[in-house]
Amino acid sequence: MPRIQWDPKVTLGNVLTVASLLITLVTGYVNLKLDVQASSARIEAVQAQVTERDKDSRPTRMTVLEQTISTSRAARDKQLDQMTAKLDRMEDSIVALSNAVAGLTATLKAQERPR
């Protein structure tokens, strides 16, 4: 039974696949960054509203606002932790792809030398 032999050629299809994967990863990373910025802006707006209401002297409003602040902080911290984890995974993927591209480049250079 003949063995299947691997032909280590870099084809246009492979290059396009790697390029599209890199573009997709970078786009996802940018979208995550924009989501974090939008969330931060919304949190700051809520905190500004809370600061305005803190000036009010009614005790019931104060307790409601304190509860809202603690709830929003917990939600923000959770969301930031999730975004950080996603960004870490995205960074690891980008590093892995960079290493794959470096490997392909080294393979191409190694194939060009003997000729």
Residue 112 lies in a domain: no
Residue 38 lies in a domain: yes
pLDDT digits (tens, 9 = 90+) for 50-62: 887 766 656 777 7
Residue 9 lies in a domain: no
Residue 99 lies in a domain: no
**Count of domains observed in the chain:** 1
Residue 59 lies in a domain: yes
What b/e readout covers 40-63, taking b as 16+ CB neighbours within 10 angstroms? eeebeeeeeeeeeeeeeeeeeeee
Residue 47 lies in a domain: yes
Q: Which domain holds residue 70?
A: 18-94
pLDDT at 115: 55
Query: Mean pLDDT of all residues in the chain?
Result: 87
Residue 49 lies in a domain: yes
Contacts of 8 (CB under 8 A, 6+ apart): 107, 111
- Residue 63: band (very low, low, confident or very high) from pLDDT cuts 50, 70, 90: confident
